[in-house]
């Protein structure tokens, strides 16, 4: 999307109907779930007598189930309608978060996070289409609203986790359950009923078939490698710092704000100057440099590195999607599902292995070194030219579906 196409956030906010605001509110809370547990990882480990490797499974189960569910959410929405799909996701999230607050063991908590991930997949994959269909001012304003919701959720999640987590590690789960229950009631009342109409059928196998395109496959693998580095920062930094939940929450609040700013304001400009594919490659190499910086055994350096990494993450969240959606001829919903399957599989594996990597290599900084190497490989994959496909210098409006990835 070019810069002038992107519009301003203030223009996108004007005159929107209730169901847009309600869905956006629910999206903010859903995105909060990504970073909510980050500040309380140490508290959970202490409270449930769990190791670092066990606690990072809270990311793995959440993402792992979400990865698989992403393959079926498109088919579910096409069959049952967007409102039913959204409400199903919200119900699952409310139940899972409420039960998380009562979990007695780390195994129970990991299992409930998996249910949370399933609900998130159903909600997030459908909410954007609801906003686009209901928003005034066209698709560009709707996408901008959704990106803003993503950024607010990523920034507020760690902060809420820190504030409520300073009372008890169970507090953030209670707070999320209450907020999401309010979103469920509002969505059930104000979202329009699903119309009885013929919807295009999407087979579960279609996203996997789409990955047969070499360019889309390379981009998806590159994104998976980057996302592995992304979740190395999220899942491992709290253990390296060893600070209180409030301190970690404030750091990741700053990180989330940087993600929001870069995704909405900076990514379109960079894509306009370098082209999607080159801009993505440059950004992922920059992320590799930051991972190397995080490997420096200095806590002040790590804090600055984490916050700055939010800027590059914001760029990559938008640019990777733009590249994936424009590089093949597959229908965008199908290409997006295949791409997201690969991408979040990388995050799930990283969150599972990050603690083991530190143990195997005998260093707290080792996961960041591995993350840097993965980003270098990702950048190399993006620099492979696709025959007969020039690099586009414009990010398609439909492609900037940052929220759909999370």
CA proximity to 188, closest of 80, 96, 88: 88
Would you kindly state where each structural domain of the chain is located, as residue ranges?
3-405
Give first-to-last CA distance, the chain, whole Å.
Answer: 20
Residue 275 region by backbone torsions, left for phi larger than 0, else alpha for psi between -120 and 50, else beta: left
DSSP code string of 319-356: HHHHHHHHSS-S-HHHHHHHHHHHHHHHHHHHHHHHHH
Query: What's the distance, CA 198 to chain centroid?
Result: 31
Angle at 178 between CA 174 and CA 182, to 5 degrees: 165
What was the pLDDT predicted at 1?
Answer: 40
pLDDT at 132: 67
Residue 154: both structure tokens together: 């990523």
- Looking at CATH, the fold of the domain delimited by 3-405 is given as Growth Hormone; Chain: A; (1.20.1250)
Is the overall model pTM greater than 0.75, yes or no?
yes
* Cα 211 versus chain centre, distance: 20
Residue 91 CA to residue 403 CA, distance in Å, equals 20
Contact 327, 215 (CB under 8 A): yes
Say if CB 273 and CB 329 are below 8 A apart.
Answer: no
Q: What is the pLDDT of residues 353-405, one digit of tens each?
A: 998 999 999 999 999 999 999 999 999 998 887 544 444 444 444 444 443 44
Do residues 215 and 305 lie in contact, with contact meaning Cβ atoms separated by under 8 Å? no
Residue-wise pLDDT for 119-174, tens only, equals 988 887 677 777 767 777 655 566 667 767 877 888 888 888 888 888 899 999 99
Site of tokens 């992320």: 287
| CA separation for the pair 405, 339 (Å, rounded) | 9
Residue 261: CB atoms within 10 A of its CB come to 16
Low-confidence spans in the chain with pLDDT less than 50:
1-7, 387-406
How many whole angstroms separate alpha carbon 168 and alpha carbon 166? 6
Per-residue confidence (pLDDT) for residue 12, from 0 to 100: 57
Please tell me the predicted confidence (pLDDT) of residue 160.
Answer: 87
């Amino acid at each position: 999307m070019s810069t002038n196409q992107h519009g301003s956030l203030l223009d996108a906010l004007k005159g929107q109907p209730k169901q847009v605001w309600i869905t956006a509110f629910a999206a903010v809370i859903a995105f909060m779930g990504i970073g909510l547990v980050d500040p309380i990882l140490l508290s959970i480990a202490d409270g449930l007598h769990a190791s670092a490797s066990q606690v990072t499974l809270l990311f793995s189960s959440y993402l792992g189930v979400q990865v698989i569910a992403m393959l079926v959410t498109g088919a579910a929405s096409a069959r049952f309608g967007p409102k039913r799909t959204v409400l199903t996701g919200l119900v699952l999230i409310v139940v899972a978060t409420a039960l998380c607050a009562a979990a007695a063991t780390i195994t129970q908590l990991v299992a409930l996070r998996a249910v949370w991930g399933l609900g998130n997949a159903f909600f997030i994959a459908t909410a954007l289409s609801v906003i686009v269909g209901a928003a005034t001012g066209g698709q560009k304003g709707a996408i901008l609203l959704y990106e803003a919701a993503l950024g607010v959720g990523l920034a507020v999640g760690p902060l809420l986790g820190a504030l409520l987590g300073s009372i008890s590690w169970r507090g953030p789960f209670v707070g999320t359950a209450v907020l999401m229950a309010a979103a469920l009631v509002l969505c059930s009342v104000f979202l329009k009923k699903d119309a009885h109409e013929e919807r295009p059928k999407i087979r579960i196998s279609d996203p996997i078939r789409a990955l047969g395109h070499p360019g889309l496959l390379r981009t998806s693998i590159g994104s998976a490698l980057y996302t592995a580095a992304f979740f190395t920062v999220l899942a491992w930094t709290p253990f390296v710092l060893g600070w209180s939940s409030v301190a970690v929450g404030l750091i990741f609040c700053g990180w989330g704000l940087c993600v929001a700013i870069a995704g909405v304001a900076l990514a379109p400009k960079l894509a306009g100057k370098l082209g999607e594919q080159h801009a993505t490659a440059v950004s992922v190499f920059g992320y590799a440099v930051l991972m190397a910086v995080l490997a420096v055994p200095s806590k002040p350096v790590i804090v600055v590195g984490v916050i700055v990494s939010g800027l590059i993450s914001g760029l990559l969240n938008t640019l990777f999607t733009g590249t994936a959606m424009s590089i093949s001829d597959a229908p965008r919903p199908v290409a997006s599902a295949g791409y997201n399957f690969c991408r979040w599989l990388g995050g799930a594996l990283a969150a599972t292995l990050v603690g083991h990597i530190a143990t195997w290599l005998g260093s707290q900084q080792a996961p960041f070194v591995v993350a840097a190497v993965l980003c270098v490989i990702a950048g190399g994959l993006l620099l492979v030219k696709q025959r007969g496909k020039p690099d586009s210098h414009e990010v398609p409006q439909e492609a900037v579906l940052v929220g759909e990835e999370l």
